[in-house]
Chain A
Amino acid sequence: KAGVTQTPRYLIKTRGQQVTLSCSPISGHRSVSWYQQTPGQGLQFLFEYFSETQRNKGNFPGRFSGRQFSNSRSEMNVSTLELGDSALYLCASSLAGTEGGGTQYFGPGTRLLVL
């Protein structure tokens, strides 16, 4: 089976712009979670989608949003980018989702640099 894929892999934006990241889960997986990884804060949970519904949300401002499509692919959007949004954004998929105790499998990430 193909793993979790994320596009684009690298992105450079300027402050104030908005960005959309895409994630395709492992075939058959219905849950997609997003995480932000930075050297200072480590890995922090953004949100989880399961069957097109946001099921869990981390402690991030409303500028961070996401959605999931009927084929389980997911996108996350960050509006009005700030310098502090520079990070590696990771997507993870699982069969049951975290509430179902499912194991999450991670993609390679999208590295976002905000100038």
Chain B
Amino acid sequence: AQSVSQHNHHVILSEAASLELGCNYSYGGTVNLFWYVQYPGQHLQLLLKYFSGDPLVKGIKGFEAEFIKSKFSFNLRKPSVQWSDTAEYFCAVNPRGGGSQGNLIFGKGTKLSVKP
């Protein structure tokens, strides 16, 4: 079965530290990839997405992610985090074609706590 793994359940950083959240998926075919963020008390918001082309994608609020096809990975990065980045981050994969269901498969999420 297709699955998405997020390696860290809870990450605690100080402001200005660099961030990298890991995401790996299991599916051999073409995929669309997403990172969503859920701030405390708010709904899921799209952070960035990858459909095709340049594997390094930039999103909102200074976030970026790199798609490495050979590693089935789509890691999220930010050079310098802020207290306002405290949130839960979800990686999601949309398998394309080959009889796949086509729905979004989510990782379990990574809670990021940024200390001021």
Task: Say if the beta carbon of B78 comes within 8 Å of chain A.
Answer: no
Q: Which residues of B contact A44 (CB under 8 A)?
A: 106
Q: A43-B90, A99-B102 are in contact. Are A106 and B43 (CB under 8 A)?
A: yes
How far, in angstroms, from A58 to B102 measured CA to CA in the complex?
11
Nearest-neighbour CB distance to chain A for B115, whole angstroms, equals 24
- Knowing A43-B90, A101-B94, the reply to whether A106 touches B44 (Cβ < 8 A) is yes
Say whether A90 contacts B103, CB under 8 Å.
Answer: no
Contacting pair A101 B51 (CB below 8 A): yes
Residue interface bits B30-47, CB-to-A below 8 A is 1, else 0:
001010100000111110
Contact between chains at A45 and B104 (CB < 8 Å): yes
Assuming A103-B34, A106-B43, A108-B43, is B49 touching A45 (CB within 8 A)?
no
Q: Which of B42, B46, B90, B107 contacts A103 (CB 8 A)?
A: B46
A27 within 8 A of B: no
- What is the total number of residues of chain B having a CB less than 8 Å from a CB of chain A? 23
Give the chain B neighbours of A106 by CB distance below 8 A: 36, 43-45
Of B36, B42, B44, B102, which is within 8 A of A98 by CB?
B102
Let me know if A64 is at the binding interface, CB within 8 A: no
User: What is the chain B residue whose CB lies nearest that of A59?
Assistant: B1
Cβ of A108: which chain B residues have Cβ within 8 Å of it?
Answer: 42-43
Q: Which residues of A contact B51 (CB under 8 A)?
A: 101
Contact of B69 with A by CB under 8 A: no
Interface contact A48-B103, CB-CB below 8 Å? yes
Q: 4 shortest A-B CB distances, which residue pairs?
A: A43-B106, A99-B102, A106-B44, A45-B103
Q: Which B residues have a C-beta under 8 Å from some C-beta of A? A: 32, 34, 36, 42-46, 49, 51, 90, 92, 94, 96, 101-109
> Other than the known A43-B109, A103-B34, what 12 A-B pairs have Cβ atoms closer than 8 Å?
A33-B103, A42-B106, A42-B108, A43-B90, A45-B104, A92-B44, A92-B104, A98-B102, A103-B49, A104-B104, A106-B43, A109-B43
